Amino acid sequence: MPIKPIVVVTRKLPDPIETRMMELFSCRLNHDDHPLGQAELVEAVKTADVLVPTVTDRIDAAVLSQAGPKLKLIASFGTGVDHIDLATARQRAITVTNTPGVLTEDTADMTMALILAVPRRLAEGERLVRAGAWKGWGPTTMLGHRIWGKRLGIIGMGRIGTAVARRARGFGVAVHYHNRRRVHAELEAELEATYWESLDQMLARMDIISINCPHTPATYHLLSARRLALLQKHAYIVNTSRGEVVDESALTRMLGRGEIAGAGLDVFEHEPAVNPKLLKLDNVVLLPHMGSATIEGRIDMGEKVIINIKTFADGHKPPDRVLETMF
């Protein structure tokens, strides 16, 4: 790889990150921050030594099949890599990196915010005030549910799930979890967490469900219509992971019928498109995929991208390789 590799960045990144990138690399930036279409992505992979995509870019086999011989690194700006065809990248000897760890606390904060907001009907109350429809305090006005003493079921006890559990304990919530593997006994003891090998059994007994697992082929529609039907009528769902993990059509139907009490959604199955029926429901808090959207987090992500590129350009293995661990 040349001393100053050609780095194509698909979206506008924080100014300090772009400035540092321009100092180190030969950069092609996206100044107006428009999402690149497939033709633009193809042009990028044809000319780049390094591609820096984000979750909004679909780096599939059709794009990678047209990559030029110089493309040797995809340094993704983000933790998830479900937008990249890892198998095709591996076949073409393209290393893939991501930015793990830096978004844990920010996403856990947003998850906890939704866990509080949905049962207490915060969004409904805010809309009521803004609409000028609030008539004053009343003993039965805007009644929600307390979360103290409730049972929280966390799906995916990785970095973010663990951070959510730590926050939940501070609010007096009983922590339960389902994971591919049981966590260490010391962590279980610290969190006073109960492990459920059976996701179905956990879902049927929880008051709140928090989805914190990645989107992979194995987790697509993990919360299917069948599994959603296991939830108790008073249960709430919070998703700050990926929309594809939930059957959004089934969830929308159940929310509309009152078969689930409510939901807090920061992600959607076909985003940026949102099911129009969801928009009409009062028992749902809808956010524009902003769980990790802090200035500190975005700069930390950018710094990880720079380290991965610089390490690779210097002839070493970048610290955040994902390709080798995903198969």
Out of 18, 124, 271, 303, pick the active-site residue: 271
Does the annotation count 253 as an active-site position? no
Q: Which residues of 250-265 are buried (b: 16+ CB within 10 A; e: fewer)?
A: bbbbbbeeebbbbbbb
- Of the listed 242, 244, 269, 298, which one is catalytic? 242
Q: Report whether 281 contacts 306 (CB < 8 A).
A: no
95 strand-pairing partners: 73
| Residue 180 a catalytic site member | no
Give CA–CA dist 194/174, Å, rounded: 9
Are 91 and 143 in contact by the 8 Å Cβ rule? The answer is no
**DSSP-assigned letters across all residues of 200-256:** HHHHTT-SEEEE-PPP-TTTTTSB-HHHHTTS-TT-EEEE-S-GGGB-HHHHHHHHH
CA distance 133 to 50: 54
3-state secondary structure of 67: coil
Core vs surface per residue 83-96: b (16+ CB within 10 A) or e: bbbbebbeebebbb
- Catalytic pick among 58, 169, 182, 289: 289
Question: Which two structure tokens, joined as six digits, stand for 318?
Answer: 């970048």
Cα separation, 247 vs 275, whole angstroms: 12
Alpha helices in the chain (DSSP H): 15-24, 38-47, 61-64, 86-91, 104-117, 122-130, 159-170, 185-191, 199-203, 225-228, 248-257, 276-279, 295-313
> Is 289 among the catalytic positions?
yes
**SS3 call for 39:** helix
Q: Could you identify the residue written with the tokens 């009343």?
A: 138
Distance (Å, whole) CA 207 – CA 220: 23
Q: Which of 163, 285, 186 is nearest to 175 (CA)?
A: 163
Task: Give the active site residues.
Answer: 242, 271, 289
